[in-house]
Structure 1
Amino acid sequence: MISGNVENDTANAEPVVVRLDSSALNEAKSILYKAYRHEPTFHYLFEHQRAGYDQRVRATVRELISLYFELDQDAIGLMLGDTLVAVAFLGDPELRLNLAQQFSWRIRMMLTAGFSATRRYIDYHEQIRARLPEQGTHQLPLMGVHPKYQNRGYGRILLEAVERLCEDNPRGQGLVLDTGNSRYLQFYESLGFRNLGEVEMGELREYILYRDVSTPLEAATK
């Protein structure tokens, strides 16, 4: 069981990667909500100019986390002392999740985020799925660092832990993630990710990125 409070003094703590279970749902939800609510992709999908935007983001993050726990997918976090500061959820290569077929998830989403937000998110997810490689690939649908702890290298530490999980799974040959933030695009490319394609959402472009996990991250960044 994970517990923590972002107000704790973590100045002298060393980051430790831990496995997460459903008891960490509330903390993971808080971190991802704060990490995503200002992201261009979420602004577009959940219509940030329309009333109720924060509620739609909270509901979507909560239901996605709940779904990945229900499907028994890998979830890891980064702890500083007793404080959970970053989380990542990793989809198994054989999952190739189709949200349109997740009936219970769709119902919960429509009741909490609304019909329009649910439809927009499913459409976005389907466009991403259509561009995935044919061979088995891990997907990284959710990863975030609490804003208070960003720009300290914790994102890279968490991504290295994600890649170790990928390397330990012989069913997957690579890791796929997507971003609509050009600032993150440069970071991922510096770690050896390459662009598989783009999804256009209004004036926004969502980049789908891939890295062969058979190549160690240290070698990819040289």
Structure 2
Amino acid sequence: MPDTSTAIAEIRLLNSGYSREARSLLYQAYRHEPTFAYIFEAERSGYEQRVRATVRELVKQHFFQKLPAIGLFVNDRLIGIALIAPPQRRLGITESWAWQLRMWLSTGVRGTRRYLDYHHAVLACLPSESVHVLPLLGIHPQFQGKHYGEQLLEAVHNWCAEDPHSAGVVLDTGNSRYLEFYKRQGYEEIGEVAIGPILEHVFFHPNPQPLHAATA
């Protein structure tokens, strides 16, 4: 296995051709997350299938609507990904009846409703309509702790800053071990949402200022 601690990471804008790799990576990233464990009832049989189905449907709809996604590669392997919902097209996925029907059939009505409640609660915390939202974000567990998360977020921030309609980036987590990491990356907590017993933290990162603005 290559020494990933010194491997050079490459940033790419992804399309639907990466759907299978994206689904596999995000399933590994989210299967043990507290929020998903509550929403899809980790204590009940079939939990991993419900998580896998949810990730599949979210990624499928994301690429179907041609929404942006940024990938981080090491030795041509996708090891990190951020799905991005731009300000003008943020609600399209969960407002799709086709998406909801597929979710009902694969994860059940209760899991779908819980996910939608969670999604809308996070959106209610947004500081304005003029922000990008990261509905799914992850680094493969084998590559965590090697500063790839910082590289991925930096690429996301720089890409979103190119949009004149965006003031910054919003993400959320119910995993307490990520809180200090996001704060170190310049995120400010702007809201908390109770998802059952899980406290979901909503963070905002303002867009970097363009270089020409600083030197004007």
Q: Distance in 2 between matches of 1:123 and 1:135?
A: 19
The question of 1:199 aligning with 2:189 is answered: no
- Partner residue in 2 for 1:182: 176
**Given residue 79 of structure 2, which amino acid in structure 1 is its aligned partner?**
V
Q: Which blocks of at least 5 consecutive residues in structure 1 are unaligned?
A: 1-7, 217-222
Q: Distance in 2 between matches of 1:58 and 1:193?
A: 29
**Given residue 47 of structure 2, which amino acid in structure 1 is its aligned partner?**
Y
Please provide the CA RMSD for this pair.
1.5
Question: For 1:74-89, what aligned pairs fall within 5 Å after superposition?
Answer: 74-89=68-83
Moved more, 148-157 or 70-79: 70-79
Q: Which blocks of at least 5 consecutive residues in structure 2 are unaligned?
A: 211-216
Q: Distance in 2 between matches of 1:136 and 1:213?
A: 11
Give TM-score, length-normalised by structure 2.
0.92
- Structure 1's consecutive aligned runs of 4 or more residues displaced over 6 angstroms after TM superposition are none
3-state SS of 2:170 partner: strand
Residue 77 of structure 1, CA deviation: 0.8
Aligned mate of 1:65, from 53, 59, 62:
59
- Partner residue in 2 for 1:109: 103
- Partner residue in 2 for 1:148: 142
Aligned mate of 2:124, from 130, 138, 147:
130
- Partner residue in 2 for 1:14: 8
Indicate if the aligned counterparts of 1:41 and 1:180 stay in contact, CA closer than 8 A. Answer: yes
Q: Distance in 2 between matches of 1:80 and 1:99?
A: 29
**Given residue 129 of structure 1, which amino acid in structure 2 is its aligned partner?**
L
Q: Distance in 2 between matches of 1:83 and 1:55?
A: 24
- Partner residue in 2 for 1:118: 112
The question of 1:49 aligning with 2:43 is answered: yes
User: How far does the alpha carbon of each residue in 1:139-191 deviate from its partner, in whole angstroms, 9 at most, with x for none?
Assistant: 01111111111100011100000001111111100110000011111111112
Give the number of aligned pairs. 209
- Partner residue in 2 for 1:96: 90
3-state SS of 1:61 partner: helix
Give TM-score, length-normalised by structure 1.
0.89
Q: Distance in 2 between matches of 1:123 and 1:191?
A: 28
3-state SS of 2:73 partner: strand
**Given residue 33 of structure 1, which amino acid in structure 2 is its aligned partner?**
Y
3-state SS of 1:136 partner: coil
Residue 192 of structure 1, CA deviation: 1.5
Identity of aligned residues (%): 45
- Partner residue in 2 for 1:29: 23
Residue 96 of structure 1, CA deviation: 2.7
**Given residue 21 of structure 2, which amino acid in structure 1 is its aligned partner?**
E
3-state SS of 1:101 partner: coil
Indicate if the aligned counterparts of 2:12 and 2:71 stay in contact, CA closer than 8 A. Answer: yes
- Partner residue in 2 for 1:3: none
